[in-house]
Amino acid sequence: MYEKYEVRPLSSKLLKLRGISPRTITEHYKLYEGYVNKVNETREKLQAVDMTKGNATYSEIRALKRGEGFALNGAKLHELYFEQLGGKGGSPSGTLMKAIQTQYGSYDAFLREFRGSGLSGRGWAILAHDWVRNELFVYITDDQQDGHVIQSTPILPMDVYEHAYYIDYGTNRSEYITAFLENLDWSIVNIRYQTSVKRTSPRFRISFS
């Protein structure tokens, strides 16, 4: 049996962001609550489904499993998203800054790729740490469920679905990305990075020889 997925409360600091309105945040938070509820609902329904009736074209199991994965990613990505907002923006420091500079040549080069990815994804642009290769990279997903890269920790997920910015910026996603970066708490991203780096170990390196 799964433990019930509990909704995390909305921090009051998220209602005081610069350039991302309380209305956007409260509407966005409702979507997050919906994902959490669907995690619980799909898992409960899976308990009762006939597992011998699986089918890749259509089956109850397929519908529930696809829904479960979508809802789980929706819940988790939004928890990361909300957690990292409420900061002063600026730029990262310490080991994360060093890693970004090593990976991209400069912080500005990283920002160019991150912003460009944000304009190009239909769902999320995510700075991740690959804990097998011990490197940073940015990937985009067009939906919440598919396109995520294995053996990697999302350390900075940027929601670029229209619901994240349309109320405040209409179609001007670029201005939203600026506001998003201005409200980032890089210390949280740094903690995620350091936690992921601890997972890096030669034992994860696969040898075919």
Shortest distance in whole angstroms from residue 164 CB to Fe ion: 5
Shortest distance in whole angstroms from residue 15 CB to Fe ion: 17
Q: Do residues 155 and 189 lie in contact, with contact meaning Cβ atoms separated by under 8 Å?
A: yes
Which tokens is 89 given?
């923006």
Shortest distance in whole angstroms from residue 125 CB to Fe ion: 12
Q: Do residues 111 and 101 lie in contact, with contact meaning Cβ atoms separated by under 8 Å?
A: no
Nearest residue (CB) to Fe ion, 93 versus 174 = 174
Write phi, then psi, for 143 (nearest 5 degrees).
Answer: -150, 165
Nearest residue (CB) to Fe ion, 68 versus 159 = 159
Q: Which residue is nearest to Fe ion, using beta carbons?
A: 159
Binding flag, residue 76, Fe ion (CB under 5 A): no
Binding flag, residue 68, Fe ion (CB under 5 A): no
Shortest distance in whole angstroms from residue 111 CB to Fe ion: 22
Q: How big is the site for Fe ion, counted in residues (CB under 5 A)?
A: 2
Residue window 146-185: x/- pattern of binding to Fe ion, with contact defined by CB under 5 A: -------------x-x------------------------
Residue 55 DSSP code: -
Nearest residue (CB) to Fe ion, 36 versus 96 = 36
Q: Do residues 166 and 185 lie in contact, with contact meaning Cβ atoms separated by under 8 Å?
A: no
Binding flag, residue 144, Fe ion (CB under 5 A): no
Shortest distance in whole angstroms from residue 120 CB to Fe ion: 17
Listed residue (59, 66, 196) closest to 126, CA to CA: 196
Which tokens is 197 given?
């780096």
User: Which residues lie closer than 8 Å to 125 by C-beta, 6 or more apart?
Assistant: 114, 117, 118, 138, 139, 140, 157, 158, 160
What residues make contact with Fe ion under the rule CB under 5 A?
159, 161
